[in-house]
Structure 1
Amino acid sequence: MNADSTLRRRPLILAAVMASMAMIAIEATIVSTAMPQIAGQLGDLQLYAWVFSSFLLTQTATTVVFGKLADTFGRKPVLLFGIVVFLVGSILCGFAWSMTSLIAFRFVQGLGAGAIQPVGLTVIGDLYTMEERAKIQGFLASVWGVSSVVGPFAGGVIVEHLSWAWVFWINLPIGLLAFAGFTMFLKEDVARERRTVDGLGAGLFAVAVAALMVALTEAGTRDWSVAGGACLVFALSSVLFFAQERRAADPMMDMALWSRRSILTVNAATLFSGMSVIGLTTFLPMYVQGVLGQSALVAGFTLTAMVLGWPIGATLAARNFTRFGLRPTLLFGAVLLPIGALPFLILQPGMSPAVPALGSVVMGLGMGFLNTAAIVMIQGSVGWSERGAATASNVFARNLGSTLGASALGAVFSLSLLGGTGPAGGFEEIRRLLGETGALAADGAARLALGASLHLTFWGVFLIAAATLALALLVPRPVAAEARVAVEA
């Protein structure tokens, strides 16, 4: 591809990447804002966390696979495939008739997201130098900022005036624009080579994580026999997965890549950061609506504070890499996470929504600093042939953390709700009250039971955030070559 032509096309390709990222970014707030009402209509409140976990499971299981495919066949075909699958899943989600069908269709959405997010970031790594890449991270972070404003507002309006199906169908025009942008402007000249795709490894990984999610969900409902069976499936599939990765010619998870201390420790901190943030994304809107008695719009904007703080932190991080270095930037973000989680520990009925909003914005800032430093560190440590896999490994770690966090905190929520003193109807009564704006907050027993259960999940968020900081401290200082690259950036 001609260098001058590529230079002229870069802003248009960047716009297409930002549009494709916007579909995933808006999911973080618009679905969370609408979920209490969706659960109220579809039922099966014990499966609430699965709506988030199912999306994250397939996204996580396929992220590394699509990253390797992008290294083999080029970025463009993988991106176009991901956009088409994501849009098909979005259409199907809007037609869901039960919580189970919605979860199934979210699996399809997650498959598309597994291709879009890591390969979009890889395209940025291909087109921009290290110095430019740090600045471009600020542009990509702005996508999350805009989505953090549009998502809750759109979710609140849709819930109050339209069918909730539109929280999924809103993706269609955005996805079509991204598809057109990549089709017209992303030109590649990739030498094709035959490489095996570790489909068996990806399948075993998906089975292992799904089994763990089932175990956590059933433990939350105290169905210990099913939970025990799921644990056995998890253990067996995990053993088979690692055996497959050792023997596969082109494994899904490149153990040599993950064995590098810098990549392993950065990804470990990223994984736990994903676990901490998903707790807010999943349960904060329910607390604000069900316990504080606020509207879906207000609940959405308490979450907006986090997603708005994220791009601000990312932009500040990108502008200060040269001044402070990548590792100190990552550590600063890790410190902000447990500090931001503190306000959720003191939440009580009757408090102002400004309290959780404050905690959200601090945690968002922390994620901005941590994740931006992490992705630049990862991409700067490998060459073109490994960049897709390395980028995907970091996205994989964050998504795996979100998957496990949603399931684990969902189990804590369910167990606490079952063990507490709540309304006579239990899950079903709380589900019914969630479907009516302000009804749950007016029911004293239901509100206290829900508040106590969610309070435990917030303690889980705080402990996981503290573990993120501990892991970030293990990230090694850059070796001389890496330090020189960072300084030049």
Structure 2
Amino acid sequence: MTTERIDRASVGLRSERGPILLAVMLSIGLVAIDATILATAVPSVVEDLGGFTQFPWLFSIYLLAQAISVPIYGKLADLRGRKPIMLLGIALFVLGSVLCGFAWNMPALIAFRLIQGLGAGAIQPMGMTIVGDIYTVAERAKVQGYIASVWGISSFVGPTLGGVFSDFISWRWIFFVNIPLGLAAAWVLLRRFEENVASTTRHKIDYWGTILLAVGGSLLLLGLLEGGVMWNWDSVTSIAILAVSAVLLIAFALVERRAAEPVLPMWVFGQRVLNSANSSALLVGVLMIGLSTYVPLYAQGVLGTSALVAGFALAAMTLGWPIAASVAGRIYLRLGFRTTMVFGAAIVIVGSVLLLTVTSDSSVLYLAFACFVIGIGLGFSASPGVVAAQSSVDWRSRGVVTGANMFARSVGSAVGVAVFGAVANAVVASRLGSSHEDLESLPGSVLAPAIHDVYYGAAAAAVLLIVAVLFMPNRVTEHPRT
């Protein structure tokens, strides 16, 4: 009989869990800060390196690399253990940061951002998987709040550091600052996180599935991110990219049915808990990209605030998220996962309605309050979904499940970019007679209705979110952590 054993040391002794959690939070902090720190430094980067028309790829290539690598790392972690994949991710992220800091032109910086993205694709799911390994459902009720607080703090620290480095030192330190943080996290994991994965099974790597997922998924995200921006939606380029991605992903699904150890097993799409958690994660991705893209734009272009104030309006969402996530655990332990997530989704709808009442005469504080309410709702609906998904499987499948959930959120972000961009451009085209890619330069009288219609789209996504979470069971049978 085939057997696998995960030693108690593989999930850490209770006395070691504190330092391990600190290392995980530090590692996730690297990714969280990097998500916002570069945005405020783009003018300095372009002034130094040139390549103004290419700078959007600094974000697109990072998102592509991170999103596609997440499910692959998740499977590798189930085969080889969490520790080596986490350390690989930190190493790639730090290497990419060093190279970015020494970049000599925009193409080089874009290429090095890809390496950073590959590192981030391992760090975030491995961090969440390790937390799922070493803490019970009851314990994760509190720990999820700690993890969420990393994102909340980073939403303030990232833009501030980006501005300080750009104005007073050099934009290159945006990347160099990752080096000591990454090394510190790696050192703690090496010293404190003991993982002995003993197995009598000879694993088979699903090479064909990995290749098809990587290429097909990359083309899908590329088509969604750049459609309507780099090329028209009805252009030959757009149609060809999306068609090829569809063919490759269909081939991927067929290959996975026959693979001995598929990189993304089809049973992930056949369980009620996972389908609800992943569909809600996708919708959370849609909502987050809609807010992060259009709320600051509305604050600056319509309400007339500075970039810094606009950033803080958005940060109100990431402040509400960890507050709710830290409380959500107490609720789902008493009332159940579905009840908690429905409560959160209902609050998201309330926040979305508040967004729809924002006008050009509104205070930026009112806009921030609407974002804060949405953040509260997302904290109650997103965090319990991850816990429920991880708890529904054992150690051998937890990496795959966590990776699939985060991949769903990334796909949701790409879908949100495409849908909201199309909505905004449609409104602009109806008013100006043509689409307008540079929304920042539009007058407030045109920008306001365009973004207002985006808010309608966000409200629709919030309604779909409440539908998705209704399928979540109220109670999930927890599998052993080892």
Further displaced range: 220-229 or 379-388: 220-229
How does 1:253-292 map onto structure 2 within 5 Å? 253-292=264-303
Q: Give the residue type in structure 2 aligned to 1:222.
A: N
The alignment partner of 2:13 has SS state of helix
Q: Deviations over 1:293-345 (max 9, x none)?
A: 32232122112111111110100102222222221111111122232223433
Q: Deviations over 1:230-264 (max 9, x none)?
A: 22212222221212222222112111132112211
> In 1, distance between residues paired with 2:166 and 2:242?
38
Whether 1:231 aligns to 2:242 is: yes
Tell me which residue corresponds to 1:310. Answer: 321
Query: In the superposition, relative to structure 1, how do residues 35 and 410 fare at CA in structure 2: closer, same or farther (>3 Å)?
Result: farther
CA contact (8 A) 1:70 1:388 kept: yes
The alignment partner of 1:44 has SS state of helix
> In 2, distance between residues paired with 1:34 and 1:341?
30
The alignment partner of 1:467 has SS state of helix
Q: Deviations over 1:129-188 (max 9, x none)?
A: 232222221221221222223223223434544544444443232212111111111111
Tell me which residue corresponds to 2:345. Answer: 334
Tell me which residue corresponds to 1:218. Answer: 227
CA contact (8 A) 1:303 1:360 kept: yes
How does 1:18-417 map onto structure 2 within 5 Å? 18-34=25-41, 42-44=51-53, 48=56, 51-94=58-101, 102-192=109-199, 193-216=201-224, 217-220=226-229, 221-222=231-232, 224-349=235-360, 351-413=362-424
Query: In the superposition, relative to structure 1, how do residues 219 and 369 fare at CA in structure 2: closer, same or farther (>3 Å)?
Result: same
Further displaced range: 325-334 or 84-93: 84-93
The alignment partner of 1:194 has SS state of coil
CA contact (8 A) 1:213 1:407 kept: no
Q: Give the residue type in structure 2 aligned to 1:299.
A: A
Q: Deviations over 1:207-240 (max 9, x none)?
A: 3333334434233443622112222212222221
Tell me which residue corresponds to 1:437. Answer: none
Q: TM-score, normalised by structure 1?
A: 0.85
CA contact (8 A) 1:423 1:446 kept: no
> In 1, distance between residues paired with 2:122 and 2:164?
30
Give percent identity, aligned residues only.
41
CA contact (8 A) 1:53 1:406 kept: no
**Offset, 1:454:** 3.5
> In 2, distance between residues paired with 1:5 and 1:94?
35
Tell me which residue corresponds to 2:3. Answer: none
Q: Give the residue type in structure 2 aligned to 1:67.
A: G
Query: In the superposition, relative to structure 1, how do residues 95 and 276 fare at CA in structure 2: closer, same or farther (>3 Å)?
Result: farther
CA contact (8 A) 2:29 2:151 kept: yes
**Offset, 1:398:** 1.9
Further displaced range: 197-206 or 161-170: 161-170
> In 2, distance between residues paired with 1:453 and 1:478?
42
Q: Give the residue type in structure 2 aligned to 1:219.
A: G
> In 2, distance between residues paired with 1:400 and 1:360?
22
The alignment partner of 1:293 has SS state of coil
- Cα RMSD of the aligned pairs, angstroms, is 3.1
Further displaced range: 338-347 or 352-361: 338-347
> In 2, distance between residues paired with 1:400 and 1:151?
24
**Offset, 1:65:** 1.6
Query: In the superposition, relative to structure 1, how do residues 75 and 318 fare at CA in structure 2: closer, same or farther (>3 Å)?
Result: same
The alignment partner of 2:263 has SS state of coil
Tell me which residue corresponds to 1:462. Answer: 459
The alignment partner of 1:188 has SS state of coil
The alignment partner of 2:261 has SS state of coil
CA contact (8 A) 1:86 1:112 kept: yes
CA contact (8 A) 1:214 1:227 kept: no
Further displaced range: 29-38 or 258-267: 29-38
> In 1, distance between residues paired with 2:167 and 2:296?
15
The alignment partner of 1:191 has SS state of strand
> In 2, distance between residues paired with 1:418 and 1:34?
31
Tell me which residue corresponds to 2:4. Answer: none
Q: Give the residue type in structure 2 aligned to 1:358.
A: F
> In 2, distance between residues paired with 1:286 and 1:22?
25
**Offset, 1:278:** 1.5
The correspondence for 1:472, drawn from 445, 469, 473, is 469
Query: In the superposition, relative to structure 1, how do residues 97 and 125 fare at CA in structure 2: closer, same or farther (>3 Å)?
Result: same
Q: Deviations over 1:186-221 (max 9, x none)?
A: 111111553223343233223333333443423344
The number of aligned residues is 466
> In 2, distance between residues paired with 1:211 and 1:2?
41
Query: In the superposition, relative to structure 1, how do residues 448 and 273 fare at CA in structure 2: closer, same or farther (>3 Å)?
Result: same
Query: In the superposition, relative to structure 1, how do residues 375 and 36 fare at CA in structure 2: closer, same or farther (>3 Å)?
Result: farther
